[in-house]
Chains A and B, each alone.
Chain A
Amino acid sequence: MLQRSTLLPGIRLTAVKSDKFKTATLCLCLVRPLRADEAAMNALLPSVLLRGSLAYPTMRELSRFLETAYGASCGAIVRKRGEAQLTGLYAEFLDDALLPEPLLPDMISLLGGLLLDPMTAEGGFLPEYFAVERDNLRNAMEAEANDKRVYAFRRLCRRMFRGEPFATPAAGEKAELDAVTPQSLYAHYRRILTQSPIEIIYQGSSDPGPIAAAFRDLLSPFAGAERPLPPPPAAVVQREAQAFSETQPLEQSKLVVGFRMAIPQTPVELAAQQVLLAVYGAGPSSRLFLRMREEQSLCYSVSASFDRCKGTLFVYAGIDADQYEPALREIRTQLAACAAGRISDEELRFAKSQLRSQLRAIGDNPSRLEELYLGDAVGPIRATVAERTAAVEAVTAEDVAAAARTVREDTVFFLKGAAE
């Protein structure tokens, strides 16, 4: 049973009551516009908050509490959805239905305390907590070069979306992080706490009523101000496709192609894009997988993905350095075939059953629910699983072709492997 309620202006609770699971989840997220000048702060904030609150001031006290609470875990949420950034905390814990004493009230207090009563000193976060977490985040940013797939995607995004907020990675950029101080992060934190939409999501066997009341009490001191949603991405002027490359000593080269596509505004438009993605490049029955891997042995991995809030489609393939031309040709040819409506009944049927199956499974997976509802919080589309399923069922081959016709190649990046 799904229940959505507005606790205070701009503060919403989505509660999914279910007694199917042994795990209950609680998540508390601030919704921010994705901006180069605050993304790193939003990424750092949850890690600093997780170091301790007034009730559990040290890692030792916090860890001991979580261990006593039957191995509950809590962690940071930092995500990029279109041109919005989500920053917050989550907790996962044994559901009260399996316990002699309920845990949920303690977990609400814990998350509330971590978010609202952090450890501070001299008008800022505790300098020793801040310094370690900033260094950890900096190390994580520098580590992007270690994974060549991640690296190729980041390079493509920085070039393709230059001048657009979407160019900023989910964790922000290093130069911005270096400028943050315990005081500036604290000031930012106080500001966004009162000015950002807050999404709270609960999944578990308890009634939503007391949860809503508890969070209303916790958050009412911060009520009053406007909490505007991030603006949707601005329209993009179409330009000539560009290509660039870099050579590194690698056994396998990485090809990434970035496309622009329309941002879906309705469940029906979204469904057409999802079916397109399934037919074209997502999963082992897709065209790219069958043609490039199974027929031509060009690669082990090839896949397409998209961001529905930004209107982008990416294709990734790990190939041999001398297969750039054939691989790129196949990526373009298959997309053109979809746009021309050359989609068989079988392909359409397979794609739909794959999506239907995924949608049916959403309700059976606590973490997927949370992701779905957080995604809904920032995009233009809000729909139930049943509405989404109905939209997928209604998609025709022509809808898929129409969706494919909005796709425009924008940027190609080739991370070319060469002997050292």
Chain B
Amino acid sequence: MNEMDYPRLREILHRTTLPGGLRVRTVYKPDFAKFYAILLVNCGSVDRRYDRDGQLVQMPQGVAHYLEHKLFDMPEGSADALFAAIGASGNAYTSHDFTGYYVQSSEQQAEALRVLLRMAFTPYFTEETVQKERGIITQEIKMAADDPYDCLGEIHMQSLFPGHPLSEPILGTEESIAGITPDCLRRWYSDFYRPENMVLCVEGDLPPAEVAAIASELLPPAQEGRVESLFDRTPAAPPRTGAQYLRREVSMPTFRLSFPLPDRPPEDQRFEFAAELALELLAGDSADCFRQLYESGLVDSGFTWSIERYRRKAFLSFGGDSRDPEAVCAALCAAARTMLSGGVRSDDLARLKRSMLGRLLRDLDSFSVCCTRLAECTLCGQDYFRFPEILDAITEAELAPLLRAIVPEQAVLTILAPKEEAL
């Protein structure tokens, strides 16, 4: 067990790797009743085509999410009931690149962790239970289909990454999930749910040694063979740039606007922080560009910007409601150009670094945010808790290449607009 002290965060992190390769990270908080644990698996919807010992395997769309639902089945019943019996609540999610299982509780923490790990390490499904789940997931797919914002997100990804796994729906489709059998799920499980492909992060009143002991006791055996997702090897067609409209019953237009970044960005927090600082300088609350857009009623307080990254694909993204999204796009591109020609002021950068440091420190109050971020960083080989030092080191020179991506020719703009209204 390795103990790392982070004085600027006032946090201590315990790290260990169990036989078979499961990495365990514990933030011990004896003065808290709340408790959070997440088991993060390094696979998601984008990994459904993969190479297993030289053989191409192709799973139906939605397999990662389907398995996530079915792992809650255990020989003695549903994991939900086992969680409920100890006052814990467990849940899970599937994203493009991760599958996460988590539990929160404020009593019987050791037992809550045991149930979480037993659930995740016990693939148990029958023909009948897999069949029954289809109805539930079909309702989930229909719910998403009725949500215009979900549709906007999906179409946006299709424009950014045409024909690429990132453009596929995480839930799959009604047709694709019809092809998911207990065999598919078993195979997906044994190929991806390998100890070396997972990370366990725990925060709360459970000593690190106990966390490691519980995980060791329940750990599944190491798997034979080699599995490699074809995600990073699948080429994407060039993005569909320009504006694309989607007409739905909505009260006002909503947009997603993205600018692709070159492939294979460095897989570290420094790159993400630099991108966030560049975006905040460009369009944050104190930026001239944002103020002008806001005061002219072109965006409201729901305007967002972010750096999105799925392993080696990354893009800068903006979104929100606007009566004229194309004008917002033009204003952002013009502001990026101005900023590149005028240079970034060092006092502006210093102020925004300080702001970001404060927000990142405050995020640590949420055990779920802290553990999830810790797990993601660990899977990418990063040390999450080093964020103050990483932020300190970022220079003005790192922001320019990011700002250069914000040009009209590269804009992928998807607009969800009301049906009748002609814009």
Q: Do A and B bind?
A: yes
Binding site for B on A (CB under 8 A): 20-23, 47, 58-60, 63-64, 66-73, 92-94, 98, 128, 132, 135-136, 139, 142-143, 145-148, 248-252, 283-285, 289, 293-294, 297-301, 318-320, 346, 349-350, 352-358, 360-361, 363-366, 417
Known contacts A64-B351, A301-B143, A357 near B361 by CB under 8 Å: no
A interface footprint on B140-160 (CB within 8 Å = 1, 0 otherwise): 101101111100000000000
Known contacts A146-B250, A354-B89, A361 near B351 by CB under 8 Å: no
B288 CB contacts on chain A under 8 angstroms? 60
Nearest residue (CB) in B for A319 is B139
- Nearest Cβ on chain B to A48's Cβ, whole angstroms: 12
A22–B106 CB distance below 8 A: no
Is B380 located at the chain interface by the 8 A CB criterion?
A: no
Nearest residue (CB) in B for A147 is B147
Complex A-B: 18 CB contacts under 8 Å: A22-B10, A67-B352, A68-B355, A70-B357, A71-B354, A132-B294, A145-B250, A146-B251, A252-B142, A252-B143, A284-B83, A285-B84, A318-B139, A352-B87, A353-B85, A353-B87, A361-B33, A365-B34
B297–A135 CB distance below 8 A: yes
A interface footprint on B352-370 (CB within 8 Å = 1, 0 otherwise): 1011111101101100000
A70–B358 CB distance below 8 A: yes
A148 vs B145: C-alpha distance when bound (angstroms)? 11
B251–A63 CB distance below 8 A: no
A142–B251 CB distance below 8 A: yes
Contact partner of B354 among A70, A148, A356, CB < 8 A?
A: A70
B358–A350 CB distance below 8 A: no
B106–A360 CB distance below 8 A: yes
A93–B285 CB distance below 8 A: no
A297–B84 CB distance below 8 A: no
A145 vs B249: C-alpha distance when bound (angstroms)? 8
A47-B301, A320-B139, A360-B107 are known; give 8 further A-B pairs, CB within 8 A: A22-B361, A63-B284, A63-B285, A67-B284, A71-B356, A145-B249, A145-B250, A252-B139
Nearest residue (CB) in B for A142 is B251
Known contacts A139-B251, A252-B143, A70 near B355 by CB under 8 Å: yes
Contact partner of A357 among B80, B105, B139, CB < 8 A?
A: B105
**From residue 183 to 229 of chain B, which have CB atoms closer than 8 A to chain A?**
none
- Nearest Cβ on chain B to A24's Cβ, whole angstroms: 9
A130 vs B355: C-alpha distance when bound (angstroms)? 28
B87–A357 CB distance below 8 A: yes
A interface footprint on B15-45 (CB within 8 Å = 1, 0 otherwise): 0000000000000000111100000000000
Known contacts A98-B10, A136-B300, A350-B84, A66 near B148 by CB under 8 Å: no
Contact partner of B291 among A20, A59, A248, A355, CB < 8 A?
A: A59
Known contacts A143-B252, A293-B136, A360-B33, A252 near B146 by CB under 8 Å: yes
- Nearest Cβ on chain B to A249's Cβ, whole angstroms: 8
A318–B143 CB distance below 8 A: yes
B354 CB contacts on chain A under 8 angstroms? 67-68, 70-71
Known contacts A20-B31, A71-B354, A363-B33, A66 near B285 by CB under 8 Å: yes
B149 CB contacts on chain A under 8 angstroms? 146
Q: For the complex of A and B, list the 6 residue pairs with the smallest distance between their C-beta atoms, beginning with the closest.
A: A70-B358, A297-B135, A353-B87, A285-B84, A357-B87, A71-B358
A71 CB contacts on chain B under 8 angstroms? 354-359, 362
B148 CB contacts on chain A under 8 angstroms? 146
- Nearest Cβ on chain B to A156's Cβ, whole angstroms: 18
- Nearest Cβ on chain B to A386's Cβ, whole angstroms: 13
Nearest residue (CB) in B for A94 is B358
B34–A285 CB distance below 8 A: no
Contact partner of B362 among A92, A249, A299, A360, CB < 8 A?
A: A92
Is B137 located at the chain interface by the 8 A CB criterion?
A: yes
A258 vs B219: C-alpha distance when bound (angstroms)? 47
Is B295 located at the chain interface by the 8 A CB criterion?
A: yes
A284–B84 CB distance below 8 A: yes
A143 vs B300: C-alpha distance when bound (angstroms)? 13
Is B395 located at the chain interface by the 8 A CB criterion?
A: no
User: How many CB-defined contacts (below 8 Å) exist between A and B?
Assistant: 181
Is B168 located at the chain interface by the 8 A CB criterion?
A: no
Is B88 located at the chain interface by the 8 A CB criterion?
A: yes
Nearest residue (CB) in A for B358 is A70
- Nearest Cβ on chain B to A385's Cβ, whole angstroms: 10
A20 vs B29: C-alpha distance when bound (angstroms)? 10
Nearest residue (CB) in A for B251 is A142
Known contacts A63-B284, A94-B361, A284 near B355 by CB under 8 Å: no
A interface footprint on B109-136 (CB within 8 Å = 1, 0 otherwise): 0000000000000000000000011111
Is B286 located at the chain interface by the 8 A CB criterion?
A: yes
Nearest residue (CB) in A for B357 is A70
Nearest residue (CB) in B for A296 is B135
Contact partner of A132 among B88, B295, B357, B362, CB < 8 A?
A: B295
B68 CB contacts on chain A under 8 angstroms? none
Contact partner of B365 among A139, A147, A356, A366, CB < 8 A?
A: A366
Known contacts A71-B362, A364-B33, A64 near B286 by CB under 8 Å: yes
Is B321 located at the chain interface by the 8 A CB criterion?
A: yes
A297–B136 CB distance below 8 A: yes
B365–A22 CB distance below 8 A: yes
Nearest residue (CB) in B for A131 is B297
B135 CB contacts on chain A under 8 angstroms? 297-298
A361 CB contacts on chain B under 8 angstroms? 33-34, 104, 106
Nearest residue (CB) in A for B300 is A136
Residue of A352, A357, A358, A365 contacting most chain B CB atoms (<10 Å) = A357
B365 CB contacts on chain A under 8 angstroms? 21-23, 366
A interface footprint on B362-383 (CB within 8 Å = 1, 0 otherwise): 1011000000000000000000
A356 vs B139: C-alpha distance when bound (angstroms)? 32
Nearest residue (CB) in B for A19 is B31
A interface footprint on B277-293 (CB within 8 Å = 1, 0 otherwise): 00000001110100100
A319 CB contacts on chain B under 8 angstroms? 139
A202 vs B105: C-alpha distance when bound (angstroms)? 26
Nearest residue (CB) in A for B73 is A294
A289 CB contacts on chain B under 8 angstroms? 80
Is B86 located at the chain interface by the 8 A CB criterion?
A: yes
Is B81 located at the chain interface by the 8 A CB criterion?
A: yes
A174 vs B358: C-alpha distance when bound (angstroms)? 38
Nearest residue (CB) in B for A103 is B358
B300 CB contacts on chain A under 8 angstroms? 136, 139
A64 vs B291: C-alpha distance when bound (angstroms)? 12
Residue of B32, B83, B84 contacting most chain A CB atoms (<10 Å) = B84
- Nearest Cβ on chain A to B29's Cβ, whole angstroms: 8
Is B78 located at the chain interface by the 8 A CB criterion?
A: yes
A64 CB contacts on chain B under 8 angstroms? 286, 351
Residue of B139, B250, B285 contacting most chain A CB atoms (<10 Å) = B139
Nearest residue (CB) in B for A346 is B85
B33–A251 CB distance below 8 A: no
